[in-house]
A and B are shown apart, each in its own frame.
Chain A
C-alpha cells in the first residue's frame, strides 16, 4: 500500500511507478489546452474527418472543429438509439459516410474515419465498410482511425491516430539525405541543435507541419529516416518506418544531459552527423538555468504532465539546480521516467505527486500561500497562479536547446502574469482558436 498524504497526493518517497493512485471516479479540470484527435488529424493537409457516433460523443469533436475554424473539414454521421435496437449501425455507418462525402463540394484526397466504442461492442464489420467505401470512392485514402476511449487494451485513440494518419504514405524509393520528424504536434524549435547538426551532416529535415498540401504530405514517404520525439508517436512512427523499410530513431524530449548526449551519439552513429561540443552545450544550459534561478530563487514550482510527458525529468533538472519544486501533477508515471522517479525518491522524498483527476481535486484549495510558478496549464489551475509556462504536449522543446528554452520560458512566466481564467479553457494550444 502507498502511504498517502491525502487521497489524491503521494510523497515521492512513497510513490510506486506502476500505480500512483487507485483508479476511482474522475474529475475533469477546466483546462482544455492539450490537443485532441481533431487537432492532430487535421494536421494532414486537405484531410477531411468523419465521426460516426452518438450526439453526446459527437459534440466535443464537432465543436472543436468549429472553434479551430475547420468546420468545412469535418462531418458527422449520427448514431441513434433505434440503430442499436434495430441493428442498423453498420448500414448507417456506411451509408452515412457515403452521404457526407457525396455532399462535399469537392471530394477530399484523404478521409479520416472515426468509429467509436459502440462499433467495437456491436461487432461492426469495419473491414467490410472500408472495402465498400474504397470501391465507391477509389480516389480517396481512407484512414482507419477510432475514437474508442473505452478500449484500454489497445492503443489509445491518440496513439492510434498518430499511427494510422501516416498509412497513406506509399512505398517509394528512399531519399537517404531526407529526415522526417513525425508524430509530434509541433515542429522542432528553430533553435534546436538537431536542425543544425543534420544540416551540417548534409541532411534536410522535414515534418508534417511543413507540408502545404496532400501531395507534400505523401512525399514524406521519401524520407530515408523517420524521427519521433513524442512518446505517443513511438509505436506509430516505428510501424511506419518498418512498413517502408526505413531507418527509425526514437529521440524523446528529455532533460538529463547524459540522455541528451546519448541521443546525439545515436543520431551521429546512425547518420554520421557531427556531434556538438557537449561541454559547451552543457555550459550554456547551466548559464541559462542559473540566470533563471537568480530571478525565481526559492519560489515554489508546480509541474504538470499536460505540459510535457517528462514532468519528473523536469522536476529533477530543476531540483538539481536549486529550484524549489514542490508539486508535480500526474496520474501515471511515464515508463520513460522510472529513473527520474527513483532519483526523486532519494533526493526529494517530500515532493508531492498529485493526481489530476481524482474527485477530491474538485474541491481542493487552489490557493497557495506563496506566489507559485507553474509549468503547464493544469498546474497553473490547480495552484491558482497566473505565473505559468504555457506549453502542452512537450511544446517543441528538444535537446540542450530545449533546456535553455524552458529556462527562458520560466523567466518570462515569472516576470509576466497571465490571465489563467481566459487562457487555459481554450482548446488546442498552438492551433487556431476562435474562442
Chain B
C-alpha cells in the first residue's frame, strides 16, 4: 500500500515549500491553518527562522469559524497585521481544512488587497502535496505578479528554485553563484535566496533562466510565457557543470529551452546505481557520475515532479513501497541518510543530506 510508511518519514509539505520560497522577499505569508503548520515549518524545514524575522503566521483557524465560514475574521486579522507590519506583499496559503471547506481564496485575497492596499495573492496548497508544489507555486506567483517587462541584457541569467529545502548548506548556494560567473554570465537574481523582491522584479532582463530545482520550473514557465525567456534545467555538479554551462550558452543564443539534467544521461535500465531525491539536482548528479564513471545512474524521484524532468529509466516513486521497489536492484545508492532502511542490505549508501526530507536531522552526524 503506497499510503503507509513504516520506516520512511515524509517530505516537507507544500505549505513549508511556499513559506521557504517567500522567506527572504519582505512579504507576509499567512497560513490558513489551526495550528502546527508554522511550528513544523520553522522547526524542521526552515534553517533561517531563529536569526531572521520573516513575517510568517498562521490564522489559528478554529472549528466554529471553519464550519460557519467566518472568513471575515481572516480578512480582518490579515489586514490588521499588514497595516502594522507593512509587508511588500501578502501571500495566503492553507492546510487541509480550508481546502475541504472550499474556501474562496481568490475572493479573500481580493478583499485583503483592497482593504490593506498591499498586493495579495494565493499560493494553492492543501497540505497534501510536497514542498516542490508549494515552493513552485509561490515562485510562479512572484513571476506572474511582480516581474516587469524590460529589455533583455545579453549575458545575464536568473537562478530559479533556490531554497534551503534543496540547498541547505551555505556553500551549495555560493557554488551556484560561482558557477554562473565561471560560465560567463552575470546573475541578476536568485529565486529566492540572497535576492530581494526588487531584484526578482527585474528578472525579465535576463537572457536565460537556470532552473536548479523542480521548485524553479513553474516560475521559469511563467517567465517563458510572459517574456519569452528560455530556460535550462540542471544544477552544476562536478563534470556535468561544463555541459550545463554549454547548454546555457546554447539557450541564450538560440532561445530554446534545454533539459541537460535529463537529456544528457544514458537510460539506466538495470537500476544498480541510483540517486534518490529532487529530480533536477539528482539528475544533474547522475549525469556527473556517469561522465566520471561511465555508469548510468537511475534517478528515483519521490516527489510530485513533472514526468518530463526524468529520463527514461528513471522512476517516480510514490511512497515507501515504490521507493523500495525502485531500489531493489541497487548496489550503490546516493540519498539522504534516512533512506538507508529502504536500501537493499547489500547496497552501499553514499549520504547526500536533504533538508526537505530529513529536516534538521540532516545535519546530525
Measured CB to CB, the residues of A under 8 A from B are: 7, 23-28, 30, 32, 54-60, 62-63, 66-67, 71-72, 75-81, 84, 92, 95-97, 99-100, 103-104, 116-118, 120-122, 147, 149-153, 359-360, 362-363, 421, 425, 427, 434-435
Residues of chain A contacted by B42 (CB below 8 angstroms) = 28, 30
Report the Cα distance A54→B12, complex, angstroms.
11
Judge whether A60 and B6 touch: CB under 8 Å.
no
Residues of chain A contacted by B77 (CB below 8 angstroms) = 24-25
How many B residues are at the interface, by size bracket? 35 or more
Interface residue from B35, B37, B81 paired with A359 (Cβ < 8 Å): B81
Report the Cα distance A24→B75, complex, angstroms.
11
Judge whether A59 and B10 touch: CB under 8 Å.
yes
| Chain A residue with Cβ nearest B30 | A25
Judge whether B10 and A25 touch: CB under 8 Å.
no
Judge whether B358 and A66 touch: CB under 8 Å.
yes
Interface residue from B4, B99, B319 paired with A75 (Cβ < 8 Å): B4
Judge whether B13 and A81 touch: CB under 8 Å.
no
Among listed B62-70, B177-185, B214-222, B235-243, interface-contacting one: B62-70
Residues of chain B contacted by A96 (CB below 8 angstroms) = 1, 3-4
Interface residues of B in 189-241 (CB under 8 A from A): none
Judge whether B4 and A150 touch: CB under 8 Å.
no
Judge whether B128 and A25 touch: CB under 8 Å.
no
Residues of chain B contacted by A57 (CB below 8 angstroms) = 13, 36-37, 40, 95-96, 127
Residues of chain B contacted by A23 (CB below 8 angstroms) = 60
Interface residue from A56, A79, A99, A152 paired with B14 (Cβ < 8 Å): A56
- Chain B proximity of A381: nearest CB distance (Å): 8
Judge whether A58 and B30 touch: CB under 8 Å.
no
20 extra interface residue pairs, beta carbon distance < 8 Å, beyond A26-B60, A152-B63: A24-B80, A25-B59, A25-B77, A25-B78, A30-B49, A55-B13, A57-B95, A59-B44, A63-B359, A76-B10, A78-B3, A78-B10, A81-B126, A99-B3, A104-B6, A121-B100, A121-B101, A150-B34, A153-B63, A362-B57
Beta-carbon contacts of B6-47 to A below 8 Å, as 1s and 0s?
Answer: 110111111110000000000000100011111110111100
Enumerate 5 A-B pairs (CB-CB under 8 Å) in ascending A order: A26-B59, A147-B36, A152-B63, A153-B64, A359-B84
Residues of chain B contacted by A100 (CB below 8 angstroms) = 4-6
Judge whether A66 and B338 touch: CB under 8 Å.
yes
A-B contact count (CB 8 A): 201
- Chain B proximity of A119: nearest CB distance (Å): 11
- Chain A proximity of B10: nearest CB distance (Å): 4
Report the Cα distance A363→B28, complex, angstroms.
12
| Chain A residue with Cβ nearest B65 | A150
| Chain A residue with Cβ nearest B319 | A78
Known: A25-B78, A117-B96, A435-B360. A60 touches B44 (CB 8 A): yes
Judge whether B128 and A77 touch: CB under 8 Å.
no
Known: A28-B42, A77-B3. A149 touches B361 (CB 8 A): no
Residues of chain A contacted by B34 (CB below 8 angstroms) = 117, 149-150
Report the Cα distance A273→B254, complex, angstroms.
90
- Chain B proximity of A329: nearest CB distance (Å): 17
Judge whether A434 and B40 touch: CB under 8 Å.
no
Interface residue from B7, B10, B44, B363 paired with A55 (Cβ < 8 Å): B10
Residue B249, interface by CB 8 Å = no
Report the Cα distance A117→B58, complex, angstroms.
16
Judge whether A76 and B97 touch: CB under 8 Å.
no
| Chain A residue with Cβ nearest B58 | A26
Known: A54-B96, A55-B11. A67 touches B101 (CB 8 A): no
Report the Cα distance A58→B16, complex, angstroms.
12
Judge whether B55 and A54 touch: CB under 8 Å.
no
Interface residues of B in 109-151 (CB under 8 A from A): 125-130
Residues of chain A contacted by B45 (CB below 8 angstroms) = 59
Known: A56-B15, A56-B37, A59-B45. A84 touches B97 (CB 8 A): no
Report the Cα distance A103→B2, complex, angstroms.
13
- Chain B proximity of A304: nearest CB distance (Å): 16
Known: A60-B43, A60-B44, A99-B4. A67 touches B361 (CB 8 A): yes
Judge whether B13 and A59 touch: CB under 8 Å.
yes
Which of B55, B60, B319, B338 counts the most chain A CB atoms within 10 A? B60
Judge whether B127 and A56 touch: CB under 8 Å.
yes
Report the Cα distance A152→B363, complex, angstroms.
36
Interface residue from B10, B63, B128 paired with A62 (Cβ < 8 Å): B10
Judge whether B97 and A118 touch: CB under 8 Å.
yes
Residues of chain A contacted by B37 (CB below 8 angstroms) = 56-57
Give the 6 A-B CB pairs with smallest separation, nearest first.
Answer: A56-B13, A60-B40, A56-B127, A150-B34, A149-B35, A25-B57
Known: A60-B44, A63-B361, A150-B61. A425 touches B36 (CB 8 A): no
Residues of chain B contacted by A150 (CB below 8 angstroms) = 34-35, 61-63, 66, 97
Residue B107, interface by CB 8 Å = no
Report the Cα distance A332→B233, complex, angstroms.
51
Report the Cα distance A30→B43, complex, angstroms.
7
Residues of chain B contacted by A427 (CB below 8 angstroms) = 43
Residue B308, interface by CB 8 Å = no
Interface residue from B16, B84, B128 paired with A54 (Cβ < 8 Å): B128
Beta-carbon contacts of B322-359 to A below 8 Å, as 1s and 0s?
Answer: 00000000000000001000000000000000000011
- Chain B proximity of A259: nearest CB distance (Å): 32
Residue B53, interface by CB 8 Å = yes
| Chain B residue with Cβ nearest A425 | B50
Report the Cα distance A56→B131, complex, angstroms.
9
- Chain A proximity of B24: nearest CB distance (Å): 15
Known: A32-B43, A67-B361, A103-B4. A58 touches B55 (CB 8 A): no
Residue B154, interface by CB 8 Å = no
Interface residue from A26, A55, A121 paired with B127 (Cβ < 8 Å): A55
Residues of chain B contacted by A97 (CB below 8 angstroms) = 4
Report the Cα distance A24→B319, complex, angstroms.
37
Interface residue from B40, B60, B99, B363 paired with A59 (Cβ < 8 Å): B40
- Chain A proximity of B291: nearest CB distance (Å): 34
